[in-house]
Structure 1
Amino acid sequence: MTVYFYAILFARHPEVRPMFPPGMDAQRGRLLRALLRIVELVDDAGSLVRFCGHLGRDHRKFGTLSAHFPAVGECLLASLARYAGPAWTAEIAAAWTKAYGAVAEAMISAAEQDEAVRPAVWPATVVHRISRGHGIAEITVRPHTAYEYAAGQYVSVETPWWPKQWRYYSPANAPREDNTLTLHVRAVAGGSVSSALVHRATVGSVIRLGPPMGDMVLDAATFGNLLFVAGGTGLAPIRALVEEVARRGERHQVDLFLGARTGDELYGVDDMLRMAQRYHWLTIRGAVSHEHIPGLRGSLPEVLAEFGPWYDHDAYLSGPAPMVVSASETLTLGGTSPDRIHHDPFETPVLSLP
């Protein structure tokens, strides 16, 4: 359905084709997830408007204009009708027409409000980079103009080597006075943006940032006790949240669990241990699932269950989707309220909120 949608969109409205990357596989997946999310939220008006607002603001970086929405709606309805077959009744057509109108209105409104207060993209120069091993690079960039975000949020990144291809990363630091952001990037097989950042970006390279997004921020917490759980490069936003706790000087007791398959893959643990020595309220434990080493052995959810329950904590989870899902289930079974469990969305963040 999504292949057909983009085919007729580009055939009927060729002027929009340059807005998209040459390879459309990722884009088609995002469209499908967005449609599924809209259906899922159809009876939750507040969440639907918030989701569409995220979409509208994020689409500014593609050059999307309000004039584009009728063309997209026309082709989307035609695609749905073609693949729904006999299920596409007049009633269903009317419902989707109304739904698309609501989505478009919310996206356009959010984009217009956003345009009044900030740019669509921020050029940023790489000012420092170091290798962390295992295909991970720590890249620090300085946006050319002020870039306001909150610790725990994520940003989209475009490189000069792959124009119009954006990927999402979480800054590994709370906001700094010098306006720099540090990103932890793992080169993924077949990942054009991640590979470019790890293997091609050097000091002086200029990338582009989209607007900061996400709700995994400290202000969402209600308890004084915090549980942070990080797997792999999911450590980045968790590290930023630890910095934010320290920056605010609030009275939080923080338990941090780091997980990896092997001891060598527990990247960043030395840095976090130094932070624990500096901040008496921070306790760190590591969990290794595929190697026998001294210390804790097992998956993160298993270790969490061993040291729980955590029902009097706000939990912040970041890392591979299976780990986040499993850890969420473990916490819920232990009595943690679901609204106290905060995590980044999976895959393309803006298109699949928690």
Structure 2
Amino acid sequence: MKFRATRPTGGLALATRPQPAQHAAPEPLVTKRQIELVRATVAAVEPCAADLPRFFYTLLFERHPQVRELFPIRMEVQQDRLLRALLMIVDLVDDPDNLARFCSDLGRDHRKFGTVTAHYGAVGECLLATLAHFAGPAWTLETAEAWTTAYNVAAQAMDQAAIEDAKHRPAVWQAQITGHRRRAHNLAEITVQPDQAYPYRGGQFVSMTTPWWPRTWRYYSPAHAARRDNSITFLVRAVTGGRVSNALVRQAETGDVVTLGPPLGDLALDPHSPRPVVCVAGGTGLATARALIEQAVLDGTRRPIDLYVGARTLEELYSLDDLHQLARRHGWLAVRATVADELTTGSGAQLLNTMAQHGPWPEHDAYLAGPASLVVAAARVLQRGGIPLERLHHDPFVSLDQVDHS
């Protein structure tokens, strides 16, 4: 799994597998100088960011053809995920705790691909060669050593988390579709029954692959907290060009079998926090919001929760009655809904205006789920209403970089 730098061209030689922790020297920390070099490399290759993933995977499959079978036939989305994961690791390289948590989640999730310890060596070798290729003169022996250290820290966290995870649960679950109901022309409510226990907390998300697009994974949030019968319901929107989503909405039928990866994410209400909550959901983000609230009920929370829901059509608010019933049973929950056709393409003006009328929220935590444009716009409204950025919790696939950090 580990590497040692050999020359500034980026070539790396495999080292022996680490010995058990009680006999091994402590993993070297990434120094301040190495952090500077790692981030300088990212700046140097940024003009070639679109070409970097393609070059990396071409190199990986040429040098290690045995790993090709772990990946989907169509690689477009996979290439984008590589770049996002790499940028996240670079962003967290000076934050050891969060880096370890992020990489541990990656390691557990990668078990579904069939990843084993030896694969980290192949990936590291080709990643550094790719960076060397695009960095040009900025790639020095010192830079190679910095990336070697940073990669080894990340890879070891991933590998150890995967090894530990394998002791307690499977890499994947087979799940039969037991319910398939169209809720709108491009929206379906899909219920599956995993072949064994699938524990998760409301607010987490689940990766899924289908028999129509093998090894092509997409992430969906369960629309509820865990049920006693182990069934899981997802709200899936067929998006333009989305192979998995279109297959699930338009092609899947009751009796078909899909494959689930492990539950991931930590978007969950803290049952011990005394702060009230404002929750904003748009589109299929309503599933996440509902799961969060159901989990709060299970946890016995009494925190006041104001839920603001936006949808493009009334059809998409089909589960609103269930939320209103929860609000009638639990006085700490208030639900407000708006319909705005521009929600997924614009700012969701009606929803945002409704929110603004009920602020400010200086003492609140905020939880956001839905289209990226809505999440960012809602985050702006909430921050202007007094909620600091560190109390804005949101889907892991949405960046709040567009929100004022001052």
Q: Is the 8 A contact 1:155 1:209 kept in 2?
A: yes
Contact 2:206 2:222 in 1 (8 A): yes
The correspondence for 1:175, drawn from 214, 223, 226, is: 226
Deviations 1:219-267 (Å, cap 9, x if unpaired)? 3761352221100000001111222223333323221101134555545
* Aligned counterparts of 1:329 and 1:337: Cα–Cα separation in 2: 10
- What one-letter code is carried by the residue in structure 1 that aligns with 2:286? L
The answer as to 2:126 corresponding to 1:70 is: no
Q: Which residue of 1 aligns with 2:368?
A: 317
Distance 1:204 1:116 in 2: 30
Helix, strand or coil at the partner of 2:225: coil
Amino acid at match of 1:88: W
1:339 deviates by 2.7
Distance 1:200 1:261 in 2: 24
Choose which of 33, 43, 46 in structure 1 pairs with 2:97: 46
Total equivalences in the alignment: 343
Gaps of 5+ in 2: 1-51, 343-347, 400-406
Aligned to 2:250: 199
Cα 1:177/1:266, change in 2 over 3 Å = closer
Q: 1:40 deviation in Å?
A: 0.9
Where 1:165 maps in the other structure, the secondary structure is: strand
Quote how far apart the aligned CAs of 1:192 are: 0.8
Q: Map 1:8-87; keep pairs closer than 5 Å.
A: 8-87=59-138
Distance of 1:280 and 1:71 partners within structure 2: 55
In 2, Cα distance between equivalents of 1:77 and 1:250: 48
Structure 1 residues 173 and 264, CA gap change in structure 2 (3 angstroms): closer
Letter in 1 for 2:261: G
Is it true that 1:142 corresponds to 2:193 in the alignment? Answer: yes
Note the alpha carbon deviations across 1:189-246, whole angstroms, 9 max, x for none.
1111111111122221111110101111123761352221100000001111222223
Q: 2:153, 2:299 → 1: CA distance?
A: 40
Matches within 5 A, 1:234-245: 234-245=285-296
Partner of 2:143: 92
Q: Quick check: 1:270 aligned with 2:324?
A: no
Aligned match for 2:217, one of 166, 180, 183: 166
How far apart are the structure 1 equivalents of 2:318 and 2:136?
51
Deviation track 1:64-92 (CA, whole Å, cap 9, x = no partner) reads 01011111111111111011111112221
- Contact 2:108/2:162 (CA < 8 Å) preserved in 1? yes
Q: Is the 8 A contact 1:300 1:323 kept in 2?
A: no
SS of structure 2 residue aligned to 1:303: helix
3-state secondary structure, aligned to 2:324: helix
CA distance in 2, matches of 1:188, 1:220: 35
- Asked if the contact 2:271–2:299 (Cα under 8 Å) also holds between the matched residues in 1, the reply is no
| Within-5 A mapping of 1:280-291 | 280-290=331-341
What is the root-mean-square deviation in Å for CA atoms of aligned residues? 1.9
Give the TM-score normalised by structure 1: 0.92
Pick from 345, 349, 372 the counterpart of residue 298 of structure 1.
Answer: 349
> 96, 101, 107: which is aligned to 2:152?
101
Bigger drift between 80-89 and 298-307 goes to 298-307
1:30 partner letter: R
Distance across 2 between alignment mates of 1:135 and 1:334: 35
Give the deviation of 1:275 after TM superposition: 3.2
Residue aligning to 1:352: none
Report the equivalent of 2:241: 190
Are 2:271 and 2:301, in contact at CA under 8 Å, matched by a contact in 1?
A: no
Runs of 5+ unmatched residues, structure 1: 292-296, 349-354
Residue 132 (structure 1) aligned to one of 162, 180, 183: 183
- DSSP-derived class of the 1:207 partner: strand
